[in-house]
Amino acid sequence: MNKKIILFSGPVHSGKTTYLANFFGVPCDVTGGFLTPDENGRRIIVNLENGQKVDFQTSESCTEEVLEVGKFRF
């Protein structure tokens, strides 16, 4: 079985996620994978296999313990 891991990198906000979404299409015929685009100003996870979207970033009003990375809260 030939499995590959692809790492795709570039500067912040340079179009990496948009490029990959257009290249693969969502949903697409892959074994696994996800993208983390911004939607309505917040990060989400998009499953490449089925297109399912899941909230990834918390809101500013979240009172539970969060991890802050730059301007993002998880």
- Start-to-end CA distance of the chain, whole Å, equals 35
Extract the tokens encoding 47: 């499953």
pLDDT at 25: 80
Asked if the model's pLDDT at residue 11 lies above 90, the reply is yes
Residues in Cβ contact with 61 at an 8 Å cutoff, skipping those fewer than 6 apart: none
Of all residues in the chain, the percent with pLDDT exceeding 90 is 8
Mean of all residue pLDDT scores within the chain: 81
Extract the tokens encoding 24: 């693969």
pLDDT at 36: 85
CB 21 within 8 A of CB 37: yes
Asked if the model's pLDDT at residue 9 lies above 80, the reply is yes
Q: Domain locations in the chain?
A: 16-73
Of all residues in the chain, the percent with pLDDT exceeding 70 is 96
Cβ count near 20 (within 10 Å): 18
